[in-house]
């Protein structure tokens, strides 16, 4: 089966970024991990302690994602990649209700084609902790919680040609 890709162009040669945002993503997850030992965490920063406990340094992505392919194996679980398009607010919404405490982990994947190497400033907006990898290398981590209004963190990146 041939692979089909949606690749964004930084300039208007292919599918352009819309107002600088990526709207089309391949998503995997959320992986819901029950927090069975909740009593080990205490204090005002309970959520932050839990996320730091379950955080992993690597992305877990070992193969290029393809829609509906179960190629993301994390521990004993396998997650399927699926396509989603952001609404006008530019957010990916994976919210759900869990009656007990869970650590949730999800992955979003996109490719951007760059006609020449360049330095950029990116902005990652989240309600909670997030990591960003570029070309397989960890580039950025934000470690915050903002329950009501999402929080944006700017960071620099170097894009390679291609």
Q: Pick left, alpha or beta for residue 20 (phi over 0 → left; psi -120 to 50 → alpha; otherwise beta).
A: left
Q: Report pLDDT digits (tens) over 109-145.
A: 888 878 889 898 988 999 999 999 988 899 999 999 9
pLDDT digits (tens, 9 = 90+) for 48-59: 999 999 998 888
How close are the terminal C-alpha atoms of the chain, in Å?
25
pLDDT digits (tens, 9 = 90+) for 17-69: 667 788 888 899 898 999 999 999 998 899 999 999 999 888 888 877 877 77
């Amino acid at each position: 089966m041939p692979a089909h890709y949606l690749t964004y162009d930084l300039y208007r040669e292919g599918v352009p970024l819309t107002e600088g945002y990526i709207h089309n993503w391949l998503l995997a997850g959320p992986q819901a991990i029950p927090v069975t030992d909740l009593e080990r965490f205490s204090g005002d920063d309970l959520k932050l302690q839990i996320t730091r406990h379950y955080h992993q340094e690597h992305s877990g992505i070992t193969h290029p994602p393809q829609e509906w392919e179960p190629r993301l194996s994390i521990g004993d679980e396998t997650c399927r990649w699926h396509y989603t398009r952001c609404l006008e607010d530019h957010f990916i919404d994976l919210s759900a209700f869990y009656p007990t405490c869970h650590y949730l982990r999800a992955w979003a994947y996109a490719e951007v084609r760059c006609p020449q190497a360049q330095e950029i400033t990116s902005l990652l907006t989240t309600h909670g902790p997030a990591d960003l990898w570029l070309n397989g290398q960890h580039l950025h981590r934000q470690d915050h919680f903002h329950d009501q209004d999402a929080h944006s963190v700017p960071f620099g990146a170097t894009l390679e040609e291609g």
